[in-house]
Amino acid sequence: MKLDKRLMAVAELVSDCATLADIGSDHAYLPAYLLLENKIKRAIVCDVNRGPLENGENTCRTAGIHDKCDFRLGSGLSVLEENEADVITMCGMGGELMTNLLSEKVNVAGSAKFLILQPQSAYDMLREFLYDNNFGVIDERIIKDRHLYYRIILASSDADAVKDDFLYPSLLAERKDETYREFLMFRLKLNEDIISKISSASDKTEEISSLRKENERIKGVLKYYEDKRDN
């Protein structure tokens, strides 16, 4: 079984795991891959909709691993009990939804050894939630798949929660990750293009100010990146 670049980056972060719960699993490609690679022993495949859950069952049945999976229909972490999963993965959904689902079952999230989260949006909201609820970020990845950037967080309630810029954190800059630098340059140019297009609109003053402040944050992280790279 092959995973796309985004899910493979998530799979590479899975370790020390007997049971993995994949929330919003859809076709269950991630847990199926991990079972076939013997990186996990058991999977809890979860989805809020019956159709995707049945797709996941078909994937696992075809791969010959159906007996190692538990399929659960329900919203978010509501289908899990505390200490039931070593690793909880949530991929391919918006950061706001992810934050809401985690907030409904913080006790379940905190009972897992690790959370691996790949939000499609509202990254800063999710990071702020993790900090406010004492989840420390252990690792972070950014990958580019075709023309899109994906950011992935490895977090744990056993790790120290350290405050950072929630939208543009420093960990990847410290690691001198070239894809992160490319992403920062992309965001900087995108914001500058937007400012240029709306600069003459009198009702866009607040938006322009917000974008300029964001760009100052980006420039600060870029400077930090360059300082780290030169040392």
Q: Using one digit for the tens of pLDDT, what is the confidence trace for 106-123? A: 999 999 999 999 999 999
In which domain, by residue range, is 198 found?
178-230
Do residues 198 and 118 share a domain? no
H-only helix segments in 92-204: 95-104, 106-111, 123-132, 171-174, 178-198
* Strands, sheet with 69-73, edge to edge from the N-terminal-most edge strand: 69-73, 42-47, 19-23, 87-93, 114-119, 148-156, 136-145
Mind spelling out the 3-state secondary structure of 15-33? CCCCEEEEECCCCCHHHHH
Please check whether residue 86 is in contact with residue 111, taking contact to mean a CB–CB distance below 8 angstroms.
no
The answer to whether residue 25 is domain-embedded is yes
The answer to whether residue 100 is domain-embedded is yes
Predicted pLDDT of residue 60 = 97
Confidence at 194, pLDDT banded by 50, 70, 90: very high
> CATH no. for residue 160?
3.40.50.150
pTM value is 0.94
Q: Is the pLDDT of residue 91 over 80?
A: yes
Indicate the helix (H) or strand (E) that contains 228: helix 205-230
Predicted pLDDT of residue 229 = 85
Separation in Å, CA 162 to CA 12, 139, 144, 220? 24, 12, 26, 18
Query: 196 versus 228: which is more confidently predicted?
Result: 196
Please check whether residue 224 is in contact with residue 177, taking contact to mean a CB–CB distance below 8 angstroms.
no
Domain total for the chain? 2
Q: What is the pLDDT of residues 40-70, one digit of tens each?
A: 999 999 999 999 999 999 999 999 999 999 9
Predicted pLDDT of residue 201 = 87
Q: Is the pLDDT of residue 228 over 90?
A: no
Do residues 130 and 107 share a domain? yes
Confidence at 16, pLDDT banded by 50, 70, 90: confident
The answer to whether residue 186 is domain-embedded is yes
Do residues 25 and 73 share a domain? yes
Predicted pLDDT of residue 70 = 98
Mapping DSSP to helix (H, G, I), strand (E, B) and coil, where does residue 177 land? coil
Confidence at 178, pLDDT banded by 50, 70, 90: very high
Predicted pLDDT of residue 87 = 98
Distance, CA of 218 to chain centre: 20
Do residues 185 and 162 share a domain? no
